[in-house]
Amino acid sequence: MGVRIWITLIQNKIAHQLSSLRTSETNYLHEAYVFYEAIHDRQYFKDILEVKNPALIIKKMRYYARFIIVSLLLNKDDNIRLLISELEGLVEEYTRNFKPLDAKEWQMVSNEIKTFMEAEKKLVPISADRTPVTIVHRLPATPYASREKESGAQKLRLQEAILVGNYQKQIKFSELTLDMYRMLQSLERQPVISKPATKKSTKEVEQGMSEDASKSAAPSNANSNTTAAQAEKPNKQANPHKYLLYRPSLSQLLVYISTAYKDTGDNGAMLLYLSADGCSYADPRVQGYNGGVTTSQRKPISDRPDNPNIPSSHCLHPADLVPFTRKPLFLIIDSSNSIAFKTIPNIFHQPIMCLFSPIEYPSSVQDKSEIGSLFTLFLHTPLLGYCSVSDIGKLDQEKWDECVNMVSIMEKTIGDMLLADPSVDPHVKRFMADDFLYTFIVRFVLCGIILRCHSSFKDEKSFPTSLPALPESVYISPDIIQMFSELNKVACISYFTKSLYFQL
């Protein structure tokens, strides 16, 4: 079979996998990984350079970029390093042989993934043998014990999640920012693989490609905001359906929110994660439009009135979300103006909860352009957030595992306290019936406890807040503080010297 035909069939098969790649559904991604790996191992692209066709080289580089994304979502770190090295070599040959106009763009792709991987690994402690500790990012495959009885209301299930990365300066690869990557990993369960994945034979791979060649292929352009999954889903989906939006405009964002809202069924909830620069006005006058977070725009506004009090047409305001509060809505706002969304009204009396990032960080905290957002990191893996603010660079695997166990106990204790506390808003308890939202809420509280105890965090602006507010008693619980004290002893940390920590 000629090289051109092989490339066409492979492109069709890759396009067929894009919907599962974009939603990062782990069980589907394993199928994509097996296919990409078979292409790589059998070197179906090995004769590309001999053809001297730049279009085919571009298709091969796109294949590598997508294979890297799939490997990234499945935490195949060793494989990623090999693929990055091969992609770099391919970009160099492409640039040297063809002198293409898009050489800088492909060099940027290569640099982006290297920067992405360096930032992701920068916070991971190194053991004595110079290897990174093993970290589990996803929820357990087995659901937690039912909390419907404790929550005192009918169980809610997270059905739709929209993850938005709209910071102008942020670490990204393709259209996946580091913070979006961390959040979507937190919205997945560990996949259950009934039997070891076996590599497909050459005949099986050829047959699979031939079958898909007749199907209509999706556009191969990776720079697309289209993230809805069209693939067939299991009858009972373990993970919420996700939309990944990199720098969408306001109109695009509202379209996806509307779609997710429509697809949220009875007793379902929608999550909206916004990672974006804040926007505010000098003299706000209109309730609900006092500020918000920025969205992407193609060019600077030239016709905007000089009056700074007029709400921006490229800013998502709290009032913009009111129509979608007719169904349960869970907001996570990671922005320098996150607290603007405290004004969102609950006029439909449906469950609403908002988790707000700190609006300022101490100068000692690393810039988000280097490690991503600290707030999102805590929601993703609290122990990594703890390591970040404690400057933990070395920790052997045994101690890491002990710390993981201690943090898990703290999370469970926090969850039990919230569910048992009659002062906690009933809507919060309804959200806690879902494993993913339960995890975000208890990790949010744990983040607040750790930052309040840290000697560098002195201002209220440096602490996360929520709507509805959670009881102060959970943040100063002697039981939790005692557990935190034990964690510091195991990790040999002395950064936590504030009065709250020494109330014991």
**DSSP symbols for 190-210:** PP--SS---PPPHHHHHHHHH
Read off the tokens for 147.
């909390």
Contact 27, 79 (CB under 8 A): no
* Rounded-to-integer distance, Cα 286 and Cα 304, Å: 18
* Rounded-to-integer distance, Cα 479 and Cα 310, Å: 49
* Rounded-to-integer distance, Cα 218 and Cα 149, Å: 45
* Rounded-to-integer distance, Cα 450 and Cα 463, Å: 10
Q: What's the confidence (pLDDT) of residue 141? A: 81
First to last CA, the chain: 74
In this prediction the pTM is 0.86
Q: What's the confidence (pLDDT) of residue 233? A: 44
Please enumerate, as own/partner, the contacts of 495-504 that have beta carbons within 8 Å and a separation of 24 or more. Answer: 495/389, 495/390, 495/391, 495/454, 495/455, 495/456, 496/450, 496/453, 496/454, 496/455, 497/455, 498/452, 498/453, 498/454, 498/455, 500/452, 500/453, 500/475, 500/476, 501/453, 503/476, 503/478, 504/478
Contact 256, 147 (CB under 8 A): no
- How far is the CA of 357 from the CAs of 95, 208, 276, 295, 437, in angstroms? 43, 46, 11, 18, 16
The answer on pLDDT for 480 being more than 70 is yes
- Cα torsion 112, 116, 119, 122: sign: negative
Instruction: Give the helix/strand (H/E) hosting 160.
Output: strand 157-166
Q: For residue 367, what is the DSSP state? A: P
Task: Provide the residue type at 3 as one letter.
Answer: V
Residue bearing the bigger pLDDT, 336 or 30: 336
* Rounded-to-integer distance, Cα 504 and Cα 497, Å: 12
Q: What's the confidence (pLDDT) of residue 235? A: 39
Could you report the per-residue pLDDT of 33-91, keeping only the tens digit for each? 888 899 899 887 777 666 678 888 898 899 999 899 889 988 888 899 999 999 999 99
* Rounded-to-integer distance, Cα 474 and Cα 497, Å: 19
Q: Residue 493 CB: number of other CB atoms within 10 A?
A: 16
Give the distance, in angstroms, between the CA of residue 327 and the centroid of all CA atoms in the same chain.
23
The answer on pLDDT for 249 being more than 90 is yes
180-186 average pLDDT score: 94
Read off the tokens for 314.
């490229």
Which residues lie below 8 Å from residue 262, measured CB to CB, with a gap of 6+? none
271-283 average pLDDT score: 90
pLDDT band at 211 (very low <50, low <70, confident <90, very high): very low
Q: Which of 349-358, 362-371, 482-491 has the lowest mean pLDDT?
A: 362-371
Q: What's the confidence (pLDDT) of residue 13? A: 56
Contact 272, 241 (CB under 8 A): no
* Rounded-to-integer distance, Cα 295 and Cα 274, Å: 10
Residue bearing the bigger pLDDT, 464 or 32: 464
* Rounded-to-integer distance, Cα 217 and Cα 17, Å: 10
- Cα torsion 76, 181, 139, 199: sign: negative
Which residues lie below 8 Å from residue 476, measured CB to CB, with a gap of 6+? 500, 503
Q: What's the confidence (pLDDT) of residue 193? A: 62
The percent of residues in the chain predicted with pLDDT above 90, rounded, is: 50
* Rounded-to-integer distance, Cα 445 and Cα 174, Å: 32
Could you report the per-residue pLDDT of 128-141, keeping only the tens digit for each? 778 888 888 889 88
pLDDT band at 313 (very low <50, low <70, confident <90, very high): confident
122-130 average pLDDT score: 84
Which residues lie below 8 Å from residue 495, measured CB to CB, with a gap of 6+? 389, 390, 391, 454, 455, 456
pLDDT band at 153 (very low <50, low <70, confident <90, very high): low
Instruction: Quickly tell me which residue has 């060649």 as its tokens.
Output: 213
